Amino acid sequence: MALTREVVLEKADEYAAKEPLYTVEAENIETLPQAYRTGEYGWRDAMWVVRWYYRRYLGTYPDDQRRAGEAAFGDNGFDEVQAAISEAAGADDLDSKLKALTSLDGVTVPVASAFLMFLDPERYIVIGDREWAILVEADELDTAVPEEFTVDEYATYLEACRRRCETVDCSMWTLYRAIWRLGTQD
């Protein structure tokens, strides 16, 4: 399967039509970047990203892992969360952005990538097993899905996504929607 422009646009449109979280995701793609940059957001806006990361699987993500990740994030103080998001927003390089976010309890590299996507959807895209596997299937990546995602693996994945976006002339948000739909079974 090739991630051609036609495939990406078709699947992104399909995502908008079929994915139940699309409306709230699209709203947050529009509003959260500004809110995170200015600090004008509340606890729920930060927790929403963590919940979204797990719940976008619509019950197929292992419940015990989801609950543990959400609970761990809930143990952070809001001041800590604000400081990490602010540091990530102001950092110049990917390593520093991820280091700031993963300093929070419950924030792994994949969850941090979700924060980056909602912080700057033009430059960042979320990573997970499904997304990685689709890029392998499309010959955009050449290694199997890692057991745990590292900063280096996210950088590799991000570069592959940026190349594909440039090639097919689409946004990261469009590519994400297409990749996600390509990984569904319906």
> What is residue 59's predicted lDDT score, i.e. its pLDDT?
84
Predicted structure pTM score: 0.96
CB atoms within 10 A of CB 94: 19
Question: Are 123 and 92 in contact, with CB atoms under 8 Å apart?
Answer: no
Q: What is the pLDDT of residue 185?
A: 66
Indicate left, alpha or beta for 169 from its phi (over 0: left) and psi (-120 to 50: alpha). left
Q: How confident is the model at residue 19 (pLDDT cuts 50, 70, 90)?
A: very high
Residue (of 69, 58, 61, 53) closest to 176 by Cα position: 53
Q: Bigger pLDDT: 59 or 23?
A: 23
DSSP letters along 76-111, please?
Answer: S-HHHHHHHHHHHHH-SSHHHHHHHHHTSTT--HHH
pLDDT tens, position by position, 107-149: 999 999 999 999 999 999 999 999 999 999 999 999 999 999 9
Q: How far apart are CA 8 and CA 174, in angstroms?
A: 7
**135 vs 140: CA distance, rounded Å:** 5
Is pLDDT of 73 > 80?
yes
Into how many domains does the chain fold?
1
Range of the domain at 137: 5-182
The string of pLDDT tens digits covering residues 138-180 is 999 999 999 999 999 999 999 999 999 999 999 999 999 999 9
